[in-house]
Chain A
């Protein structure tokens, strides 16, 4: 990752140099070329540094930290799961967790979907998250509001106000996946 970043910065910097040089040479073909060249040699360095800085800032702003990625996966998973959109929720899960979702899906009734229709909007927000030192597992604590509490037995499911839930995630092929326990 770091190597790619350094290489792209290097390539970007070199091509920028070439572009600025050619621009200068072709724009000023008269006697002032030497002077401008000397002048620009100094300002071009500054300009290069500025572009480099802007590029790094852009890159950092656009890329998410692993922790943010884990939080995003946990929120997306929970939103899908508590909307009973279990196929969508499976996209954020490990294969084992997908099986658990299949078990939940087998217990979802038409009545549960009707309860969801009349419910207030589901809200999911991050309370806190922690990563393991190796950045391969993470735990995200979520606050979930207006969620459906499924009843798998004979009783009725209900909409509950609020709860906190801990979501465990593992990093598989550079992607954060929710790991559910039975």
Chain B
């Protein structure tokens, strides 16, 4: 009898351990493991507000992201170089903010970090991002990839990938969707929550 109850206890404990192991297997998000981040990583998010919803519905992509930027480390702190319209921030176009600020407007469920697989892409992307930050490129209200006089958010990494890393994407759409950053030919997903 005692043997039987001991067996039941062991069974229950094993069951509990299995449940715990399964729940831990779900990658906890993010701000997470900062040690995973790398210079030149591309960070994508969806905001919580009306503009994000409008962008997501306008793009009609398979992934619900609305904004992206490039991660750079400065003085041991992670920053994001990205492009925003002047109505949405104090600066028009390319600007830099802390990672915390970037994530402050983020919908918890939609965040991803990807890394370009190409060798030396990290330094190429970081240098170019800093270069465009210095040049104070304005926001592209036309959402056009045709010229580089102004950048909308994803235009910045796409432009850098095209002209610094020789990676270009051909799509029929005028606007290249965010899901392009999950193309495993060129990118590796470092962290993802969606």
For B67, give the chain A residue with the smallest CB separation: A182
B47 and A182 contact, CB distance less than 8 A: yes
**A100 & B57 in contact (Cβ 8 Å cutoff):** no
Closest to B107 in A: A181
The answer to whether A154 and B174 touch across the interface, beta carbons within 8 angstroms, is yes
- Residues in A whose Cβ lies below 8 Å from that of B54: 104, 150, 152
CB atoms of A154 and B173 under 8 A apart = yes
> 0/1 per residue, B147-178, Cβ < 8 Å to A?
00000000000000000000000000111000
Among A107, A153, A155, A180, point to the contact of B50 (Cβ < 8 A). Answer: A180
How does the 8 Å CB contact mask read for A97-111 relative to B, with 1 for contact and 0 for none?
Answer: 001101110110000
Q: How far apart are B159's CB and chain A's nearest CB, in angstroms?
A: 17
Size category, A interface: 10 to 19
Interface: B105 (CB within 8 A):
yes
Would B49 and A152 count as touching, CB distance under 8 A? no
**Contact flags (1/0) for B48-67 with A, using CB distance below 8 Å?**
11111011011110000000
Q: Is the CB of A152 within 8 A of B48?
A: no
Across chains A and B, the number of contacting residue pairs, with CB separation under 8 Å, is: 58
Given A100-B88, A103-B87, are A154 and B175 also a contact pair (CB < 8 Å)? yes
Q: Write the chain A residue with the least CB distance to B47.
A: A182
Closest to B89 in A: A182
Contact of B175 among A99, A149, A153, A182 (CB under 8 A): A153
B177: nearest residue on chain A (CB-CB)?
Answer: A153
Q: Is the CB of B60 within 8 A of A155?
A: yes
A70 CA to B49 CA in the complex, in Å?
19
Q: Does A130 count as interface, using CB distance less than 8 angstroms?
A: no
Q: Is B87 within 8 A of A99, CB to CB?
A: yes
B141 nearest CB neighbor, chain A only: A106
